[in-house]
């Protein structure tokens, strides 16, 4: 018997229903509620077997096992408070709401009724974010002290300035509407929550565009085009624009981490760039989709821009809309890096791969030496007495596959066997005596 799932709000985000609609395989969308004719027509076309209604009461009485609330931000509490009161486990899109009062009402209802509430912070499942977090949790950059995020919202005019998003009464502002994702990610990467903020923003481009149109009869797909460029040439913007198109915010987190977030809606490109700085290095993503790179610097230099010490290729999402990646899922452990561990003293004195004095990155690199989550092992050496303890120390959150691949890449470099390093994960700077042809460093 399938779980019965309802959807409230069948607009752009309605694509989520596909994840819940697998008739005969465990779950099916049986009811859709939307207050607009367009939403109901789209739902009826996509889900001919579902009850499609304008009345929330019809949905509440449909004996549902779960509901997806996909209405505009300022309509989340009006809907989700009622689904929670009805005891229906509720997925509510981000941001939870647009005022503190409405958010409190939602949280209080979930707490009082004991009904499950999940906020749609789907970026936590994106490979780039999961992999950055794994690298951080491995100790690769030491203790996090700063997180900076620059968010280039190319397509901002089409995405946010032609419908309800453009009005402050519906969103409070795009710093909340759009930034909710990244502020959540900043908190997740930093391991703390914001306590104090200072911020500024302005409407510096779209406010001057004269072409306006009421677009409530249309959807994003009706007007979106990469040809709508430059932003000053945009047409058919929402009649009322009172949100910022550029914002900058600085945050102090409760664990002392300092963070900043910048958002711009008139860049030609669309992606997010994170820099995370710790006590032993920094990481930065270059691109945020499959095949792009996360780079890690640990080695001190004074040569201006230098290649990173490590590159990690961003995995492919397998869950839709940047969903979870199988590559990031833990896999059965064979052994730690497939290698036995060795005592601290011998690990520091010899390079495990080359058996030379330990001046290669693998041995003296702060990552390998200080990380509680990643340790090197002595290849070919018998397992030492402390291998079990060392192995236990390595059971950090860094996924086994990523940990193993990082280790292999390091070994390949130290041993001068560039071709053995996985293509997507290369130690590109080797400063040790065993520099290989793949080491593009100095």
Closest CA to 317 of 185, 182, 93, 125: 125
Q: Which residues contact 256 (CB under 8 A, 6 or more apart)?
A: 145, 192
Which of residues 75 and 384 has its CB atom nearest to ligand NAD in the complex? 75
Which of residues 70 and 434 has its CB atom nearest to ligand NAD in the complex? 70
Least distance (Å) from ligand NAD to the CB of residue 146?
A: 26
Strands (E), 254-348: 258-264, 270-278, 281-286, 293-297, 310-313
72 binds ligand NAD (CB under 6 A): yes
Grouping H, G, I as helix, E, B as strand and the rest as coil, residue 178 is coil
Q: Which residues contact 223 (CB under 8 A, 6 or more apart)?
A: 158, 162, 215, 236
Query: What residues are paired with 90 via a beta bridge?
Result: 67, 117
319 binds ligand NAD (CB under 6 A): no
CA atoms within 13 A on the CB side of 204: 10
215 binds ligand NAD (CB under 6 A): no
Q: Which residues contact 13 (CB under 8 A, 6 or more apart)?
A: 70, 93
Task: Choose one: 72-80, 132-140, 192-200, 392-400; the region binding ligand NAD (CB under 6 A).
Answer: 72-80
8 binds ligand NAD (CB under 6 A): yes
Task: Choose one: 74-82, 142-150, 222-230, 404-412; the region binding ligand NAD (CB under 6 A).
Answer: 74-82
Least distance (Å) from ligand NAD to the CB of residue 265?
A: 15
Least distance (Å) from ligand NAD to the CB of residue 119?
A: 9
Which of residues 135 and 180 has its CB atom nearest to ligand NAD in the complex? 180
Binding test (CB under 6 A) with ligand NAD, winner from 5, 7, 66, 70: 70
Q: Which residues of 172-197 are buried (b: 16+ CB within 10 A; e: fewer)?
A: bbbbbbbbbbbbbbbbbbbbbebeee
Binding test (CB under 6 A) with ligand NAD, winner from 46, 73, 288, 307: 73
Q: For residues 374 and 137, what is the distance between their CA atoms, to the nearest angstrom?
A: 10
Which of residues 80 and 412 has its CB atom nearest to ligand NAD in the complex? 80
Binding test (CB under 6 A) with ligand NAD, winner from 10, 17, 152, 206: 10
* Chain residue at closest Cβ approach to ligand NAD: 11
Task: Choose one: 5-13, 341-349, 370-378, 429-437; the region binding ligand NAD (CB under 6 A).
Answer: 5-13
Which of residues 36 and 401 has its CB atom nearest to ligand NAD in the complex? 36
Task: Choose one: 67-75, 251-259, 367-375, 388-396; the region binding ligand NAD (CB under 6 A).
Answer: 67-75
- Is residue 65 within 8 A of residue 89, CB to CB? The reply is yes
Which of residues 18 and 348 has its CB atom nearest to ligand NAD in the complex? 18
Binding test (CB under 6 A) with ligand NAD, winner from 4, 5, 6, 9: 9
- Is residue 150 within 8 A of residue 272, CB to CB? The reply is yes
In the shown chain, the binding pattern of residues 13 to 52 toward ligand NAD, with x for contact by CB under 6 A and - for none, equals x-------------------xxxx--x-------------
Q: For residues 357 and 379, what is the distance between their CA atoms, to the nearest angstrom?
A: 15
- Which residues from 94-123 bind ligand NAD, rule CB under 6 A? 94, 120, 122
Tell me how many residues contact ligand NAD (CB under 6 A).
22
280 binds ligand NAD (CB under 6 A): no
Least distance (Å) from ligand NAD to the CB of residue 23?
A: 23
Q: Which two tokens stand for residue 435?
A: 């520099």
Closest CA to 425 of 437, 441, 407: 407
Q: For residues 128 and 298, what is the distance between their CA atoms, to the nearest angstrom?
A: 20
Its sign, for the CA torsion 129, 135, 139, 145, is negative
Which of residues 34 and 307 has its CB atom nearest to ligand NAD in the complex? 34
Strands (E), 203-323: 246-253, 258-264, 270-278, 281-286, 293-297, 310-313
Least distance (Å) from ligand NAD to the CB of residue 208?
A: 25
Least distance (Å) from ligand NAD to the CB of residue 314?
A: 18
What are the two backbone dihedrals, phi and then psi, of residue 153, each rounded to the nearest 5 degrees?
-90, 70
The H or E element spanning position 74 is none
311 binds ligand NAD (CB under 6 A): no
Which of residues 110 and 412 has its CB atom nearest to ligand NAD in the complex? 110
Q: For residues 334 and 67, what is the distance between their CA atoms, to the nearest angstrom?
A: 40
Interaction site with ligand NAD (CB under 6 A): 8-13, 33-36, 39, 70-73, 75, 78-79, 93-94, 120, 122
């Amino acid at each position: 018997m399938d779980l019965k799932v309802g959807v409230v709000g069948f607009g752009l985000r309605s694509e989520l229903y596909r994840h819940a609609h697998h008739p005969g395989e465990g779950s099916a969308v049986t009811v859709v509620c939307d207050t607009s004719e367009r939403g109901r027509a789209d739902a009826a076309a996509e889900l001919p077997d579902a009850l499609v209604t304008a009345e929330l009461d019809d949905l509440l009485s449909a004996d549902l096992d779960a509901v997806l609330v996909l209405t505009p931000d300022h309509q989340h509490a009006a809907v989700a408070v009622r689904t929670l009161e009805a005891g229906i486990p509720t997925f509510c899109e981000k941001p939870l709401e647009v005022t503190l009062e409405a958010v409190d009402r939602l949280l209080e209802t979930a707490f009082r009724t004991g009904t499950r509430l999940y906020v749609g912070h789907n970026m936590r499942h994106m490979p780039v974010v999961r992999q950055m977090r794994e690298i951080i949790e491995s100790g690769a950059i030491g203790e996090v002290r700063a997180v900076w995020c620059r968010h280039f919202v190319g397509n901002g005019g089409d995405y946010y300035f032609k419908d309800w998003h453009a009005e402050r009464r519906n969103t409070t502002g795009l710093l909340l509407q759009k930034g909710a994702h990244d502020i959540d990610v900043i908190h997740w990467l930093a391991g703390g929550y914001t306590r104090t903020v200072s911020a500024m923003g302005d409407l510096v481009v779209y406010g001057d565009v004269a072409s306006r149109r009421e677009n409530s009869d249309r959807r994003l797909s009706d007007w979106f085009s990469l040809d709508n460029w430059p932003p000053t040439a945009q047409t058919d913007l929402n009649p009322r624009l009172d949100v910022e198109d550029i914002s900058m915010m600085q945050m102090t987190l409760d664990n002392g981490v300092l963070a900043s977030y910048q958002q711009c809606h008139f860049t030609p490109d669309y992606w997010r760039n994170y820099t995370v700085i710790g006590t032993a290095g920094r990481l930065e993503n270059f691109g945020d989709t499959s095949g792009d790179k996360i780079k890690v610097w640990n080695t001190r230099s004074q040569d201006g821009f230098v290649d990173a010490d490590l590159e990690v290729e961003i995995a492919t999402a397998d869950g839709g809309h940047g969903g979870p990646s199988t590559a990031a899922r833990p896999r059965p452990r064979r052994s730690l890096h497939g290698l036995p561990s060795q005592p601290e003293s011998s690990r520091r004195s010899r390079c495990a791969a080359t058996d030379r004095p330990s001046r290669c990155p693998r041995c003296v690199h702060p990552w390998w030496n200080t990380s509680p989550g990643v340790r090197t092992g002595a290849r070919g050496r018998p397992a030492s007495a402390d291998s079990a303890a060392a192995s236990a120390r390595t059971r950090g959150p860094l996924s086994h596959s990523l940990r193993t691949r990082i280790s292999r890449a390091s070994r390949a470099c130290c041993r001068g066997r560039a071709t053995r390093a996985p293509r997507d994960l290369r130690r590109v700077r080797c400063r040790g005596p065993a520099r290989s042809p793949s080491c593009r460093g100095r």
